Amino acid sequence: MDKSFVLKLTDLPRRPWFWAFAASVLAFGATTYLTDGRGGAGLLSAALTFAAFSAIVGLGQMFVITLGPGNVDLSIPATMTLAATLALKFMHGETALVLPGLGVALLVGLGAGGFNYALIRLLRIPPIIATLSASFLYQSLAIWSNRGLRIKPPEVLADFTTGSFFGIPNMTLIGLLIAVLSWIVLERSIFGRWVSAFGQNTRAARLSGVPVEVVRAVTYISSAVLASLTGYFLASFSGGAALNMGAEYLLISIAVVVIGGSSIAGGNSNVPGIWGGALLMFLIVSMLNSYGLGAGVRLIMTGTIIIGIVAAASGKGRAV
């Protein structure tokens, strides 16, 4: 066997994303073992589908967190809800309006991201407070716009989001495509270098000519746009927009970033790890459900497992 190949294999545990994927494999194995192997294919399909939603919002959150301490987008759930509500209301179940409806969702993301940045830049509000405050506004707009009604998506859009291509869920393919584009931006573009420089030392980045405010604006807008895109697809997948549809994605968007190996201190992102963290989050819940544990016990064990993964990955080198 090629010695260089062996060295690459032994180097895998040093990659931050390795631990998230390894834990996902263990969780999948434990769940299928509990069910005597029944439904393994269905579990894998479900994991790939639901992980896609978590991965897309996680990628947006990762861009923001990479900017450094204090940078986090707490408006993601409300942005998802508002985008889904306005887009589905605009489409009104009409197939011909699917693409314009997607445009509406993306415009919501652009507006939300721009507003978040304006609060941070113009009013000098800390990002955590700015995005949290903005989330109340977005959620209120969503409530006002749908007035408690569950708005259904066009049938063709629902079929697409729940369908598959050669056995691979369509949402998985979309999530992977966005992940690849995010990796190219962060690892192969000047903007990616600017984001890392911003997170490592904002003052040094500014003195070296990095347009730090442009970087911050684009990053927060990107997070909001990805949240809006997720809301659009999630509402179509689940059969309609609901006011609480984005609630669980606040902690998930942060958890997948941390579990995936990105530095919470900023300056270091990890795109492959986002998918590992997203798969792990879904499979942990599935595994604990298989044991028939109560909600409280599941939360405790989920938190413990997450801490273990983060601890195992701490101090490891940066993934390529």
Is the model's pLDDT at 298 over the cut of 80?
no
Q: In the prediction, which pLDDT does 318 show?
A: 44
Residue 7: Cβ-neighbour burial (10 angstroms; 0-12, 13-18, 19+) = exposed
Fold type of domain 19-27+43-313: ABC transporter involved in vitamin B12 uptake, BtuC (1.10.3470)
Q: What is the Cα Rg of the chain in Å?
A: 20
Tell me the per-residue pLDDT of 45-59, one tens digit each, with 9 for 90 and over. 889 999 999 999 999
Q: What is the pTM of this model?
A: 0.89
pLDDT (tens digit per residue) in 89-102: 999 889 999 999 99
Confidence of residue 148 (pLDDT cuts 50, 70, 90): low
Q: Which residues contact 176 (CB under 8 A, 6 or more apart)?
A: 52, 275
Question: How do residues 186-242 score in pLDDT, each as one tens digit?
Answer: 999 999 999 999 999 999 999 999 999 999 999 999 999 999 999 999 999 998 888
**Predicted local confidence at residue 311, as pLDDT:** 66
pLDDT of residue 313: 55
CA atoms within 13 A on the CB side of 182: 28
Q: How does pLDDT run across 104-146, given as a tens digit for each residue?
A: 999 999 999 999 999 999 999 999 999 999 999 999 998 888 7
How far apart CA 104 and CA 117 sit, in angstroms, is 20
Looking at 152-270, list the stretches that DSSP marks H as alpha helix, in order from N- to C-terminal side: 155-162, 170-188, 190-200, 202-207, 212-238, 249-259
Q: What is the predicted pLDDT for the residue at 11?
A: 63
Q: Taking a C-beta distance cutoff of 8 angstroms, is the pair 72, 216 a contact?
A: no
Q: Which two tokens stand for residue 193?
A: 């270098």
